[in-house]
Structure 1
């Protein structure tokens, strides 16, 4: 049995790479593992050798100490890997398969899974519907920023790349299928983006940039990306986006300068609960700012996709209400304008096969759009630090040096 190393959350602002247990076909006790999941047998699981595993903004919320994540939690929910072992209940996935892992953990058996709502599976998290690898309050499934990782319900969850050589040629793009590409796409679909749409995307981090690339893929005429970070706005412009610097003020006037009118057809929140204010309040945390701004700039009858993360517990929030996930949202404005809202985890399996085809057939260059940057597993602490400082990159961990061989 080989050894295993993983990226471990050690407390606010601190991650380290440690030796961790090699995966087995039983969920063991450990940091963040729900007691009701301890001892759960997993004959339907597969063990993967990790080929690529990405640092996500959602991980960064935990590392900043903005959740109740316990020290010792192995991080990582964006996983691409090669199957090295399968449990006795796995029928169709085979050793040697190169696969993408949806960040949602889903059983494929419950009502929600059967309805395609894999982000809120009822059987994998005893606390509430919905689960993910290496994430706080998600059942305790061990994270995938590691050399090896276990994936339950493998026949259901894994997306196989049938031509391994062809897939490895585009592996940085395909690594985005685990989360941010489907998540950005979902934000656009739920916002109603289509041919000729004008789209406003709040946030030029990796999810926002993935949403922008998705909007173009869906036929948008104009994609406007907003942020406070000049480097990230420059990255958005690199593939055809218009940009709004909200440090200069509310987005409405800047949108009018671009479109000739102050409203858009569709909007996407790719920021979430750590939003900052606009203009003179750009250095102040204002968690409802983005949602209120999107209602302001989205036309009556339009829709707002909200893939940005919001939480029910935020110990680092600036006020008591926000600590419980309660924000001062102008719901009356959204009601008056008949806005549609879509929230929650992206159901990755609804989109990942089609987006895989778009990548393999050169319809999108998602790795280039998000500036995917491979680094070694040992460099994960540096990647987290630079990402937290606002680097306009999507850091992709390379535990076995397989990505470096492709460059």
Structure 2
């Protein structure tokens, strides 16, 4: 979401807060950045003693003053439970249904919409229908199996203040896994100054810019991080303006006395483990399709040769002729296979003189 904004930038940018240009390593060793790091450390100590934490990051884009696409990430956490709400916006309004993921002890509850792309889930549509869970809205799983975009939002991560790290936000802004991968990246020095709205608070301002390389245009972020007189993080803004396009990423921290989480309707949930198992079972059944078809075709031919209606006798004879491993049933035979350790079976039975194939 944040990373996509970097791709719209081209042209000239505002001047740096200082005339000095620093590489990433020089920036991290600079006195100004050390001051910023000290403030962040004080905030981390403050958060560690808080009973509840709420962090909201709002990403927005304006074109000629008109709000365009954006997103809102709301993180709420106690020491044992956390919740992430991800909303997309357009023209300043929320669009679609927000995605809500909740870490509660050893379990995670997320939107069922992420199930089809979760590692281990196959044959999703057929599996959820077979489980009679087509109306489920919640996906339940162990916290060790949580997929993107919720992977990192556990209570410990929220309390770590990682979401407040300006370099982490810049990493997203530059669409990279590491700032060291950004060619030609240069920083200004960090400039502490009194906050305009509350002089007792301090703004730490710096810029980070990258020149044009190949298909990637030049762009620059102006970063302002505000701490109050107690050295606790208040807010952070990453801003870029290009001609008529303005991009803002604003992060705010609060530590309420208590926190209210959005309710999770566990009665409308489906377990990830059930989807994975059923998906594999269906895969095992699918692997038997060719054998089941051959068996039905052979049994039909045997019945036709005797000029009689197909019975279980022809099915068993066909299985023997084709050298198929089957289990005899009262009305037919059962074929079984395994897929990733999960067994699935297909039964071929005689129904009103015809061979009928179905999972069983």
TM-score range, shorter chain: under 0.3
Give the TM-score normalised by the residue count of structure 1. 0.24
TM-score where L is the length of structure 2:
0.26
Please identify which structure carries the higher strand content: 2
Q: Which has the larger radius of gyration?
A: 2
